Amino acid sequence: MVDIDHSNYVIIGGVAAGPKTAASLARRLPKSKITLFQKEDLLSYGSCGLPFFASGDLNSIDELVVTSYGVPRDADFFRKVKGFEAITGAEIIRIDRAKKTVAGKLIGTGETFLHRYDKLVLATGSVPARPPFPVAKSPAIRYFTRPDDAVHFRRQAEQGKIGKAVVIGGGLIGCEVIQACADLWGIETTLIEIQDQLLPYVLDADMAAIVRREIAGQNIEVLTGIGVERITLNDAGQPVVFIPGYNPITADYVFLCLGVRPQSDLAGDCGLQLGKTGAISVNEFMQTSDQDIYAGGDCAESIHQITGEKLYIPMGSLANRHGRVIADHIAGVTQPFPGVLGAFFVKIYGCNVGAVGLSEAAARKAGLAARAVWGTFPDKPDYYPEYRTFVLKMIYDNVDRRLLGLQAVGTGDICRRIDVFSAFLQHRATINDLLDFEHGYAPPYSEALDPLHHLAGIAEARQDGLDIIGAGSVIQSEIRDAVWLDVRETDEVESQPLPAGDVDHPESILNIPLKQLRDRVKEFDPDKRIFIVCKRGVRSYQAACILKAAGIRNVTILGGGVQALQ
Amino acid sequence: MVDIDHSNYVIIGGVAAGPKTAASLARRLPKSKITLFQKEDLLSYGSCGLPFFASGDLNSIDELVVTSYGVPRDADFFRKVKGFEAITGAEIIRIDRAKKTVAGKLIGTGETFLHRYDKLVLATGSVPARPPFPVAKSPAIRYFTRPDDAVHFRRQAEQGKIGKAVVIGGGLIGCEVIQACADLWGIETTLIEIQDQLLPYVLDADMAAIVRREIAGQNIEVLTGIGVERITLNDAGQPVVFIPGYNPITADYVFLCLGVRPQSDLAGDCGLQLGKTGAISVNEFMQTSDQDIYAGGDCAESIHQITGEKLYIPMGSLANRHGRVIADHIAGVTQPFPGVLGAFFVKIYGCNVGAVGLSEAAARKAGLAARAVWGTFPDKPDYYPEYRTFVLKMIYDNVDRRLLGLQAVGTGDICRRIDVFSAFLQHRATINDLLDFEHGYAPPYSEALDPLHHLAGIAEARQDGLDIIGAGSVIQSEIRDAVWLDVRETDEVESQPLPAGDVDHPESILNIPLKQLRDRVKEFDPDKRIFIVCKRGVRSYQAACILKAAGIRNVTILGGGVQALQ
């Protein structure tokens, strides 16, 4: 029998999962010996806060390494407060699983050491994905993953040395970095994304199109579906980005935000099983193929809660939760990690973006009978001052009505709805469960029915035959020979006409305010397809009911209304 | 077989549950005849918005009766848009269940009418609870339930005629009304509540004490535990409020916010079963004891999802959800109403207050093995600009670890956490499920671990022996002979010393910053009880671990820290 109370625990990695595991272990097993090795000098820095130091939102990078009461989270802090040893500047080079030792060297002195473990925890994190094109060496061409990157950029920006920046990669970090460049510093910024949309993999194309519309005209040029050929330096030492079919872009600064890959070499070298994603394979207790070695955070593989698929989702929040599961399991508490749902938020200018669960594309790819509904909603009653709006897209399973995912874009409070939806997904809830949701209601915060109730109601209507498409997915071929029915009031139509690009034949737009529709149903050719549009989608739904009750069947509503058009 | 498509549906009541039921029915059964009778002239007004018209937040009361696109929700609107007849100024006087008719009269003309129904829906709402003390008649002494009340008050306030107001009743409406009086209009306001705390029944006393502290010094005097004796008028016609042991309070305006009672006379008169609460008894499909008569909204009784107890919770949000359940059931869709969880929000100045589920007191009363944990949290990382904080109290069952309730008070974003917790309660979740919650994480919105994760972690620690009390419940007798250990940094203690009232013997306060504690554990008398306090509760938890590891067992932490003290 192992004496877990007096064992020797070794943790490799000191940013998120590592310190969290060590601290939890020290609380649970105060008599054990816990040693954490960190290659860098900094420990437990809020790496997710780096874009906000770069942007100028934070005054000092120190704010990312001190506690809320001003004490730095250094080795001394971890020893005295958290009860474990953290050794910085110590690189682990080899794991000997047979002898249960780790071998390393102190970077400062070159001195080597050997450390025995009973249980080992790998929290080795991630490294930036290497660009698939040639890149010249320059301090002005950087990843955006380490404090140095943010510090260097900010110093240059503060000195007014950056007039033009290029961000390569339109994922979560890329989007945070364009905000960091263009907002406070006013840097003219070009974003280049090889996929056909911003935030690929995590948002559907129609929702990503709304994000793109929201950030348009903010010093930002967004180029999608375009791969970079190479990045060179000109005679003045400035980076030049070459992209096929465009003039080369000369910039003062280039960020390579191409995602990260798991730092799993140490694990692979000692024969631990790696997944197809390249991350370390773990079971539900975060144990690797060696039961005395755990892995957590950005180096470990995840399982999707809905599809069961193995995937790689590096997220600071998951890393923290991994840490708890690992410490619990070592201490004899067996609460499995349930897998991931892929919840995220990102702020791009005033636009809040978030999602949880599967996108429609991902759900289809996983073989699910995915359907979607859309709506635009105020985040509190629109009679209340300072309400804001957002567009939601909900994905559910057409067969068993199970909820699959939610995406949100807008200036309103999307976070509440994403987090609530995550709780529903965790419990494998259905549309019906969402209808039963009891939200808090008071006009300064919410409406009598939450947007999630409305979405569930629209999903029910869709199951009963309502046809709905996302406003962002309207394509020209579908709307030839269709009639557009705009049920907004005349003054609304005048102040925000339908974008010309959305309709081929302006003569086919009928504006009939909703209140007149019931008396004018005879005006419709029952053989033509009708697209109904309004401001947010609510009136279109009502209009579809009126037309259907009058026997007009070929009716499609534009989910989210003109507020959700690109 | 009844032909539900072509039946005759009658709805009594036109504020929330009534129009919602009628509109849903009309969508589901467009060929049926749906008639709604409303005694007043106004239909479907946002009655929950009245305090915000009174307060000046809304410019016009019309905003509460028009759609977001400016069309009034009148009988014409309901006929043309929603597809049902709404007859205003029509009071239903009698229900004949045998003949399936309702008898009424038109208030304008006195004309009587008889209307046949196949199914009848009672949405008769509530009326203000009558004060248990004598009240003089005056336009300046009012309930706060109808548009007139808000309009009259606001007109007087705008004309500067109200220098002093008294609000009787410190429940949800009373709290909204004191804000309406004292914030924009700057009216000196006295709130009188007969219970010993603000927001009785919905908040525990310790959390209510924090609300009271938050609103202190805002033109508001709060008197609790005091019953009003009578309200008379002086020679100038001003209301005078008599309370025992105080000087009579002369005011320009008095609001009676003593809650509401169900308007169930019509139901009682025709022999429908009423509950002990006085509200109409309904089953899970909102059917009364007569299966052809439904009841929803403020006139119907509710069942608590956790205790199964029958109770009366009048809420606009419930009314809307009732409407859907009733319409569904009539149309042959049997989705039961799951009961209520009691979610609410209320804004009092900048202080956000909310709760869902059972309070600790209510859980104990229901015979549950309720335990509580507390914490103060920032609503995003405290390195991020403009973060705000809040105090949370979570109640759970000590035996099966089931979650029971959450209460929140503070300037930060409490709504997200209350709504998420509600989703967990709906799924009968445990502490472990809460640890598995996957929230969205990005510094502008949230931390790597959500406050709910921290609370679940503290609850786990409590189950493992951590002793914690709410800072708001500290009583003098408990702390005599105890040592107070303040683990904050010296500068924090200097800028916000422990309130003198909390500790009898200042000499028993030890200030040892957390980082020094491990080296100074020998200074403690192991026989004395130690209360640990910090700013928010996190460091106290860490300090308790350090003391316990050193063999000092009689340790209690102050949940929520000094930020949660009264």
Q: Which residue of B has its CA nearest to A355?
A: B440
Cβ of A445 within 8 Å of Cβ of B546? The answer is no
Cβ of A316 within 8 Å of Cβ of B448? The answer is yes
What is residue B323's predicted lDDT score, i.e. its pLDDT?
96
Query: Measured between CB atoms, does A356 come within 8 Å of chain B?
Result: yes
Query: Measured between CB atoms, does A549 come within 8 Å of chain B?
Result: yes
Question: Could you tell me which residues are beta bridge partners of residue A556?
Answer: A467, A531
The minimal CB distance from A71 to the residues B319, B426, B515 is found for B515
What is residue B477's predicted lDDT score, i.e. its pLDDT?
60
Q: May I ask the CATH architecture of the domain A4-127+261-330?
A: 3-Layer(bba) Sandwich (3.50)
- Interatomic CA distance for residues A210 and A11, integer angstroms: 43
**Which amino acid does the sequence have at B182?**
A
Cβ of A440 within 8 Å of Cβ of B80? The answer is no
Q: Which of residues 71-110 of A touch B (CB under 8 A)?
A: 71, 76-77, 80-83
What is residue B426's predicted lDDT score, i.e. its pLDDT?
98
Measured CA to CA in angstroms, residue A557 lies from A479, A536, B358 at distances of 12, 11, 42
Query: A329, A474, A489, A169: which is closest to B70 by C-alpha?
Result: A489
Preferred mutation among A63, A79, A306, A317 to probe B, highest tally of B CBs within 10 A: A317
Query: Measured between CB atoms, does B184 come within 8 Å of chain A?
Result: no
Cβ of A444 within 8 Å of Cβ of B345? The answer is yes
Query: A282, A294, A311: which is closest to A13 by C-alpha?
Result: A294
Which residue numbers in chain B have pLDDT < 70? 1-2, 475-480, 500-507, 566
Which distant-in-sequence residues (6+ apart) come within 8 Å of A153 by Cβ? A54, A142, A144, A162, A180, A253, A255
DSSP run (H or E) holding B459: helix B451-463
Strands (E), B194-281: 220-224, 230-233, 239-242, 249-250, 253-256, 260-262
**Assigned token pair, A166:** 């290029």
Cβ of B46 within 8 Å of Cβ of A383? The answer is yes
Class of domain A350-461 (CATH, top level):
alpha beta
Q: Which residue of A has its CA nearest to B380?
A: A49
Q: Which of residues 9-28 of A touch B (CB under 8 A)?
A: 16, 26-27
* Number of residues that this document lists for chain B: 566
Cβ of A426 within 8 Å of Cβ of B440? The answer is no
Cβ of A436 within 8 Å of Cβ of B453? The answer is no
Cβ of B518 within 8 Å of Cβ of A83? The answer is yes
What is residue A135's predicted lDDT score, i.e. its pLDDT?
98
The minimal CB distance from A381 to the residues B49, B352, B448 is found for B49
CB contacts of B536 in chain A (<8 Å) are: 68
As averages over each run of 10 residues, the pLDDT of chain A (566 residues) reads: 85 96 95 96 88 91 88 95 96 98 96 97 96 96 92 94 96 93 91 96 94 85 95 97 95 96 97 97 98 98 96 93 96 93 94 97 97 96 92 97 98 97 98 97 95 96 92 66 90 85 67 95 88 94 93 92 83
Cβ of A443 within 8 Å of Cβ of B514? The answer is no
Preferred mutation among B438, B466, B496 to probe A, highest tally of A CBs within 10 A: B438
CB contacts of A50 in chain B (<8 Å) are: none
- Interatomic CA distance for residues B86 and B10, integer angstroms: 10
- Interatomic CA distance for residues B292 and B305, integer angstroms: 25
Q: Which of residues 480-539 of A touch B (CB under 8 A)?
A: 488-489, 491-492, 513-519, 535-536, 539
Buried b (16+ CB within 10 A) or exposed e, A357-366: bbbbebbeee
Q: Which residue of A has its CA nearest to B437?
A: A423
Cβ of A49 within 8 Å of Cβ of B453? The answer is no
In CATH terms, the superfamily for domain A468-564 is Rhodanese-like domain (3.40.250.10)
What is residue B4's predicted lDDT score, i.e. its pLDDT?
84
Cβ of B48 within 8 Å of Cβ of A441? The answer is yes
Buried b (16+ CB within 10 A) or exposed e, B354-386: bbbbbbbebbeeeebebbbbbbbbbbbbbbbee
Residue A128, phi then psi, degrees to nearest 5? -60, 145
Chain A to chain B, count of Cβ pairs less than 8 Å apart? Answer: 284
The minimal CB distance from B80 to the residues A338, A453, A518 is found for A518
Domains of chain A, residue spans:
4-127+261-330, 141-258, 350-461, 468-564
For the domain made up of B141-258, give the CATH fold.
Answer: FAD/NAD(P)-binding domain (3.50.50)
Q: Measured between CA atoms, how close is B439 to chain A, in angstroms?
A: 5
What is residue A223's predicted lDDT score, i.e. its pLDDT?
95
What is residue B380's predicted lDDT score, i.e. its pLDDT?
93
Cβ of B415 within 8 Å of Cβ of A347? The answer is no
Query: B431, B561, B436: which is closest to B493 by C-alpha?
Result: B561
Q: Which residue of B has its CA nearest to A385?
A: B57
Measured CA to CA in angstroms, residue A285 lies from A15, A293, A337, A428 at distances of 20, 11, 6, 21
What is residue A477's predicted lDDT score, i.e. its pLDDT?
60
In CATH terms, the superfamily for domain B4-125+261-330 is FAD/NAD(P)-binding domain (3.50.50.60)
Cβ of B535 within 8 Å of Cβ of A69? The answer is yes
Q: Which residue of A has its CA nearest to B464?
A: A28
Does residue B471 contact residue B374 with C-beta atoms inside 8 Å? yes
Measured CA to CA in angstroms, residue A33 lies from A5, A124, B439, B550 at distances of 9, 20, 32, 15
The minimal CB distance from A440 to the residues B64, B344, B384 is found for B344
- Interatomic CA distance for residues B27 and B208, integer angstroms: 44
Does residue A25 contact residue A331 with C-beta atoms inside 8 Å? yes
Q: Can you tell me which residue has the tokens 């791969």?
A: A227
The DSSP secondary structure of A64-97, one letter per residue, reads GTB-TTS-B-SHHHIIIII--EEEESEEEEEEET
What is residue B334's predicted lDDT score, i.e. its pLDDT?
87
B467-470 and B403-410 strand pairing: unpaired
Question: Could you tell me which residues are beta bridge partners of residue B255?
Answer: B142, B167
The minimal CB distance from B63 to the residues A346, A378, A383 is found for A383
Measured CA to CA in angstroms, residue B302 lies from A447, B151, B264, B295 at distances of 21, 32, 14, 11
pTM flag (> 0.95): yes
Does residue B311 contact residue B362 with C-beta atoms inside 8 Å? no
Strands (E), B331-413: 344-348, 351-357, 370-378, 389-397, 403-410
Does residue A404 contact residue A395 with C-beta atoms inside 8 Å? yes
Q: Measured between CA atoms, how close is A509 to chain B, in angstroms?
A: 20
H helices within B55-96, ranges in order?
A: 75-77
- Interatomic CA distance for residues B564 and B566, integer angstroms: 6
The interface pTM score, or ipTM, of the predicted complex is 0.96
Burial label, B136 (beta-carbon count in 10 A; 0-12, 13-18, 19+):
middle
Matching CATH number, B350-464, of 1.10.3470.10, 3.90.79.10, 3.50.50.60, 3.40.47.10: 3.50.50.60
Query: Measured between CB atoms, does B344 come within 8 Å of chain A?
Result: yes
Query: Measured between CB atoms, does B411 come within 8 Å of chain A?
Result: no
Per CATH, A4-127+261-330 and A141-258 having the same topology is answered yes
- Interatomic CA distance for residues B347 and B353, integer angstroms: 6
**Assigned token pair, B126:** 């509530």
Q: Which residue of A has its CA nearest to B447?
A: A317
Burial label, B566 (beta-carbon count in 10 A; 0-12, 13-18, 19+):
middle
- Interatomic CA distance for residues A35 and B364, integer angstroms: 44
Cβ of B83 within 8 Å of Cβ of A416? The answer is no
CB atoms within 10 A of CB B188: 16
Q: Measured between CA atoms, how close is A455 to chain B, in angstroms?
A: 14
Query: A539, A561, A222: which is closest to A389 by C-alpha?
Result: A561
Cβ of B385 within 8 Å of Cβ of A48? The answer is no
